[in-house]
Amino acid sequence: MIDCIIKGGQVVVGGAVQGLDIGILDGRIACLGRDLGAGTNTRVIDASGLTVLPGLVDVHVHLRDPGFTHKEDFYSGTSAAAAGGITTVVAQSNTNPAITTPDAFVEVRRIGEQNAVVDFGISAAATEENAEYLEALVKAGSLSLDFPLGGSGPALTVRSNATLLAILSVVARLGTLATAYTGDGEINAFERQRLQNAGRKDPLAYADAFPAACELLGTGRLLAGAVATGARVHIRQVSCPETVTLAATMRPLMRPGQLTLEVTPHHLYCDRSAIESQGVLAIMGPPLRTPQDTAALRAQLRAGQIDIVTTDHAPHLKSEKEVAIDDVWRCPPGTPGLETFLPSLLAAVHRGEMTLPALARLACEQPARIFGLHARKGHISPGADADLVLLDPAAPHEVIPDRFLSKAHYSPFSATLRGKVLATLVRGTVVYDGSGVADALRVPRGHGRFLAPA
């Protein structure tokens, strides 16, 4: 009893690529096999000559909704995700109002359920001020308690070590996950003032204001707190190889799986030369690093020292970036990443830097596992949701930001990447058909479902 068959594809499953058919029933994978037979009413999708990946799970996405919907909203952001082969996103908490209370959480969930194209979860914020709400936020379905330790807006930044320990103690008691952007606000403020006093307003000055010491000191705070409390912690958007090395030295003090790390494609495959060529459009937090740094991060990823890849999709309007062309300190940091996520990783596959099974592990399986979604998401196996991407992995992919479905029409990626998405399926329904235009979206607003941790 199956209502749809994906037939003839090369399926990335079980750490290998195999020629298999995929049988789907009621939005879930019912069976895998060769030459599955179709019934009279079975829909057949021909995947001959194509690769079939699990839908990507992007656990770090700023959808800007509510409060900043001129930059992005649930519909535009999840449409961009569908175009990029991403079938699950986790929305971040720096909205307006920020997701610091149960009421704010419920409102974001409502907006998502009315507008999302792909499935979504939510990470709520833990701050200096909302200790009374943390347990309720977790019970409401937050996939993590998220906070910056520096280098971000002051309202959400956890500056006090006492507060950090209190948050991590709640995380440990509730068995949830703490996710943190590890920076140091004091060093960043000092370096920024020093550079401004020297008359620096150029784009590279912004990068110079975030030395590796910022990330290292924030990481040290987080790891010390994790050891002291037993909390499970996840380090966001690593940009410095020294951070990964520090984490590796601390892992023996923790239980297996207590510490995980993520890196973004732009910190793997772009460097400071993008700032030199693109100016303020390439300003993000943390900043792009040196070619030596990116090479070291790629080596650490291959060695298994970094657990997942995410986008940190942080869109602004192009005009909002360009207003700072003569004064970088006016520039809002952030870059879109949803529509270049899979092509950037497929380019690495094409160069021989990773395999398709490794891509599926880093961008599908492991993110779902870390964030409590693995029962249904991130893998192709019976019982899982039929979240699938049919693609030609070797086809050239020209980055054309003006054609993005995201509202942010710029990108640090200016070269040709790889991969053409022919179809993206969420729970067995084709939500994007690969034509590369807005009317390729095949489902109405609200197809996406809210995901709570299993």
> What percent of the chain is modeled with pLDDT above 90?
94
pLDDT band with cut points at 50, 70 and 90 for residue 87: very high
Domain formed by 55-373, architecture:
Alpha-Beta Barrel (3.20)
**Residues 75, 100: contact at Cβ < 8 Å?**
no
Residue 154 per-residue DSSP state? T
> Where along the chain do the CATH 3.20.20.140 domains lie?
55-373
**pLDDT classification of 441: cutoffs 50, 70, 90:** low
Active site residues: 312
Neighbours of 435 (CB within 10 A): 11
pLDDT band for position 435 (50/70/90)?
low
Asked if pLDDT for residue 437 goes beyond 60, the answer is no
First to last CA, the chain: 27
- How many angstroms separate the CA atoms of 191 and 400, rounded? 35
- pLDDT of 438 > 80? The answer is no
Q: What is the pLDDT of residues 121-163, one digit of tens each?
A: 999 999 999 999 999 999 999 999 999 999 888 889 999 999 9
Provide the percentage of residues in the chain whose pLDDT is more than 70: 98
pLDDT above 50: residue 275: yes
Rounded CA separation 283/303 (Å): 28
Q: What are the tens digits of pLDDT across the range 366-409?
A: 999 999 999 999 999 999 999 999 999 999 999 999 999 999 99
Q: Is 30 left (phi over 0), alpha (psi -120 to 50) or beta?
A: alpha
What distance in Å separates the CA atoms of residue 279 and residue 414, rounded to the nearest whole number? 13
Residue 72 banded pLDDT, cuts 50, 70, 90: very high
13-64 pLDDT tens trace: 999 999 999 999 999 999 999 999 888 889 999 999 999 999 999 999 999 9
User: What are the strands, taking DSSP E only, across 201-341?
Assistant: 232-238, 259-263, 308-309
The answer, yes or no, to whether residue 90 has pLDDT greater than 90, is yes
Question: 87, 60 in Cβ contact below 8 A?
Answer: no
- Calculate the alpha carbon distances from 23 to 45, 314, 377 in Å: 10, 36, 16
Model confidence, pTM: 0.97
Q: Is 13 helix (H, G, I), strand (E, B) or coil?
A: strand
Instruction: Determine the Cα–Cα distance for residues 445 and 271; give it in Å rounded to an integer.
Output: 37
Residue 439 pLDDT > 70: no
Assign 76 to helix, strand or coil. helix
pLDDT value of position 365: 98
Q: What is the pLDDT of residue 181?
A: 97
Q: Across all residues in the chain, what is the average pLDDT?
A: 96
pLDDT (0 to 100) of residue 436? 55
